[in-house]
Structure 1
Amino acid sequence: MPAHAKLGPAAILVAGALALSACASKAPKELPPEPGPPATSTDTGQMGATPGSQAEFVQLMAGADTIYFDTDRYDIDSQDQAALARQAQWLARYPGKRATIEGHADERGTREYNLALGERRANAAKNYLVSLGVDPSRLSTLSYGKERPVALGSDAQSWAQNRRAVTVTID
């Protein structure tokens, strides 16, 4: 009887484990450095935002990248004017940046009506930015109507959040 036939199952398992452990990866001789503090932008003081990026725009706007409307309305009120003035200041700092203004509506009404209302809202925001000195060739509009809600409820609070125009910067 050959010698390997006399080995018990436990001995075979031990031999297999030893063979596999020989294939295991070895620890590197030198470990990578510890992570340092997060990157910051010296121009903006914002954590991790590249100057002129959409991320910086959203951080600096702190919610002012979006304006809200009353039901079936597309007029720019004083709160919207303040938000759009902040957007215009940012766009003035980055004259090579363009932006798309997205118009949205709540779920009530027909698809066609809400697309038209979203377009009027986006154009109202664009026209106000232009009145503040932003070159109209840098701005485009897009209506999503009721197709992209941020709040999914069928109540007054959700509808109010969905009646909006959002400015998104692009290269």
Structure 2
Amino acid sequence: MKRHLLSTVPAALALAVLGTLGGCASSSKPTAPVQAAAPAPANHSAQSSVAAVQAPAEENLGPAPNVPRSVFFAFDKYNVETKYRPVIADNAQYLGAHPAAHVQLQGNTDARGSREYNLALGQKRADAVMNAMELLGAKPAQMEAISFGKEKPKAMGTSAADYAENRRVDIVYQR
């Protein structure tokens, strides 16, 4: 009988210690004030009166929302057309004014052509946008040119409009 009692003491002691540690408060301070919950109604109804906690606002990434972030290309081409120079200029100007900002220039193609060919074409498109942005003041260290080829289509169809929608470089701002 003594043997059984002695073997349960360490287990009970371990459970007591774990229970005590589980209730310890964290030493870190909350970043935003937390509002306390309102007291429960006197009638103990099923509804709870909990005050809303305001989450911190997300940091805006990139220029204003009305500034386009895609440059489109003609079939089998990687030269930036004149009509997309304002898109590049606005994004390059933002990068010049915000040295900590970073973008990923994601080159894309339509579904026609081999995987290898489209990856190379997407890279040439991303590089062309990067070079144009650099000429307008963006630092190379702020940009990364990558290719998705035909792997990330916006439009899934096979019409001329769908293909045109997929021949692009997306300017994606990173944290």
Common topology (TM > 0.5): yes
Is 2:54 the partner of 1:50? no
**Runs in 1 of length 4+ with deviation above 2 angstroms?**
24-28, 30-33, 48-51
Q: For residue 50 of structure 1, what is the amino acid of its counterpart?
A: E
TM-score under structure 1 normalisation? 0.68
Q: Quick check: 1:135 aligned with 2:139?
A: yes
**Inter-CA distance 135–31: structure 2 relative to 1 (3 Å threshold):** closer
Identical-residue share of aligned pairs (%): 32
Q: Counterparts of 1:132 and 1:156 in 2: how far apart (Å)?
A: 32
Supply the distance in 1 between the matched residues of 2:142 and 2:98 (Cα, whole angstroms).
11
2:116 & 2:64 partners in 1: Cα distance? Answer: 30
Q: Is the contact made by 1:68 and 1:160 (CA closer than 8 Å) also made in structure 2?
A: yes
1:91 has 2:95 as partner: yes
Structure 1 residue runs without a partner (length 5+)? 1-23, 40-47
Contact kept, 8 Å, 1:105 with 1:118, in 2: the verdict is yes
Following superposition, the deviation at residue 136 of structure 1 comes to 0.8
Write out aligned runs for 1:148-163 (5 A): 148-163=152-167
Point out the structure with the larger helix share: 1
Query: Which amino acid in the other structure matches residue 127 of structure 2?
Result: N
Give the C-alpha shift of residue 170 in structure 1. 1.3
Shift of 1:89: 1.5
Within 2, Cα distance between the matches of 1:49 and 1:90?
Answer: 18
Give aligned pairs, total: 131
Q: Choose 101-110 or 80-89, whichever is displaced more.
A: 80-89
Find 1:167's aligned residue among 161, 165, 171.
171
Q: CA RMSD in A?
A: 2.5
Structure 2: unaligned runs, 5 residues or longer: 1-43
Alignment partner of 1:59: what SS? Answer: coil
- Conservation of the 8 A alpha-carbon contact between 2:78 and 2:121: yes
